[in-house]
Each structure stands twice: as structure tokens, then as C-alpha cells.
Amino acid sequence: MSDFLNVLIARRQEEAEGIISLELVDPAGGWLPPFEAGAHVEVHIAPGLSRHYSLCGSPQDRRCYRLGILREPASRGGSAQIHKTFVPGTLIRISQPRNQFRLQELAAHSVLLGGGIGITPILAMAWRLHALGASFELHYCVRSRARAAFLALLEQAPFADKVDLHIDDDARSLDIPALLRVPEVNRHLYVCGPGGFMDAVINTAREHEWPSSNVHYEYFAADVDATGKSFTLHAERSGLILQVPEGRSIAEVLLEAGVEVSLSCEQGICGTCLTHVLGGIPDHRDLFLTDEEKASNDQMLLCCSRATSPFLKLDI
């Protein structure tokens, strides 16, 4: 099976300020490959440019894939280009669905938290839990009603009674400590949203002693911090020794030197640029590797991580 699919944009809708949704179908009218709640696809936007988006429709519905896409204010061409050029009738290329944000379907109760555009994987989870007849609640946190995507859908969904909308501008923010006060053994928490929101939820869950295995999260945007000392990079297979200055990523320096580097999110989220470390100590700045994987220091992400040692040797 090819890892890529050609799909047709069947529908595009303005969902909220700066957010569109797209419905993607098989151009031949067939069913699309199955996907699990929490899965994402990599969307090819232009040669060398792709972005990851969560599938937000029901995993039961294989007639189409639904995506929600926020035009990021600091977009380097990815989401801005989608907003500009992805119109109904356009054929695009996407990856097969992949899942790094899995639902524990046998949980006694699931608490779903979506912040802003982070509602997208949470929506697919709600559809799945509803289909299973499972116990869950969904909290959707947004700054304002104007920026809240999928509101009509949530109001009309068969699980609408399980949805709580929290709007900052209406002084109806979510009381996270109150929500997470009581961890239970078979209660699972899922969160996706902006970094500050995620950190608040994850830290509160830790304070209230939720087992880490019951707290699931997916960052959809990370601030890539390129500050830090310069260091020498030995690209072993390419036979190059390069200098990575402050303010530039390893990936940028390698690409400029003509080394092929696979990139997608460029934010330390997707793992596409994962590379083996042959020497030196990485300064891990990604959200992809686990703490244990980071501690082993034998692999790193080239789009965002740097070095704590003056010298780094990579298998590239």
C-alpha cells in the first residue's frame, strides 16, 4: 500500500475567524482508508512543503476526511497557502493517516479537552467514544465565540449534551484544577491546544497525581527556539563539517550545504527529521521524543534541537 493518497477537495467552509474546514474524498468515489481517532495526515502543499493536520470527522465515516485549518499568524507559507489555494475541485496529495495520539477505548471515563484549533483530534475522539457508547465529557476552550470553529456541529452532534463550551471573553473560562481534582484509576485525560493551555492542563494533572499513563496530549504548534551557542556539526555520511550558528537550526545549515533533510512540521512535533546521534550531546527542544528517549541521547530532531556540547556528530 502506498504511503500517499491523492484526494479531491470536495468542500471548503469558513468555520471561524481564520479557520477553514476541508472535506477530502477519493476522486474515484470510493472509500478512504480507515483511521483511528486522534490520527493526523501530512498534507503536501507545494514541493518541499507539507504540514500535519488532525482528522476531525467521525472514524466511522470513510466517505471523507475532514480537516480544520487555522491560518497561523506567523505562517511561513504552510497554512497561509492552504487558505489561499485549496479550493473545491483541487486534487491534493496526503499521507495515509498516522496516529500518535491514541484513544484508550476501554477507559471507564474519558475527559476530552480542546483549546482553540486543538479541538480537531478531540472531535474525532468524541465521535468514536459516542459510537462505542462510552462515558466521556468534552470541554472546548476558546478566546471568543468568533474564533470557535465547529460550534454548529458541536451543538447539533448526537453527543451535544456532553460538550461544555468555555469562552474567555464571556468570563466562562474552564476551571482546570476543579475539573482534574479527582483522578480515578480508569479515567483518561486527552488534551490538545496551544502550548500555554496544554502546559496548564498537564501540570495541573501532575499536581493532582493523575498517573502519567492516563494523561494523553498532542502539541500542534511549538515555538522553535533557535537561540543558544553555536557548535560544530559533523555530518558523517555526507563527509561535511559545518558550523551551526546561534539563530539557525541544524536542518537549515544542512540544507544550505546541499544535504537532503526530510522535514514536515519544522516544529519538533512530527518526528520526520529524526536522526541518529553518533557523538556529542544534543540539547533536545522537541515535543516528539519521550523523556527516556531524550535521556539516551542517541537520536534527535534536526528542525529544532541543538547541542549542549561544542561538537555534534550525526548519521546524515
Q: Which residues bind ligand FES (CB under 6 A)?
A: 263-266, 268-273, 286, 288, 301, 303
CB closer to ligand FES out of 119 and 300: 300
What CA–CA distance (Å, rounded) separates 216 from 218? 7
What CA–CA distance (Å, rounded) separates 244 from 113? 39
CB closer to ligand FES out of 59 and 121: 121
Q: How far is the CB of 303 from ligand FES (least distance, A)?
A: 3
Q: How far is the CB of 304 from ligand FES (least distance, A)?
A: 6
CB closer to ligand FES out of 16 and 70: 70
**Phi, then psi, of 242 in degrees rounded to 5:** -130, 160
CB closer to ligand FES out of 277 and 301: 301
Q: How far is the CB of 269 from ligand FES (least distance, A)?
A: 6
Q: How far is the CB of 265 from ligand FES (least distance, A)?
A: 4
**Phi, then psi, of 254 in degrees rounded to 5:** -65, -45
CB closer to ligand FES out of 26 and 266: 266
CB closer to ligand FES out of 23 and 286: 286
Q: How far is the CB of 50 from ligand FES (least distance, A)?
A: 9
Q: How far is the CB of 311 from ligand FES (least distance, A)?
A: 22
CB closer to ligand FES out of 41 and 270: 270
Q: How far is the CB of 289 from ligand FES (least distance, A)?
A: 9
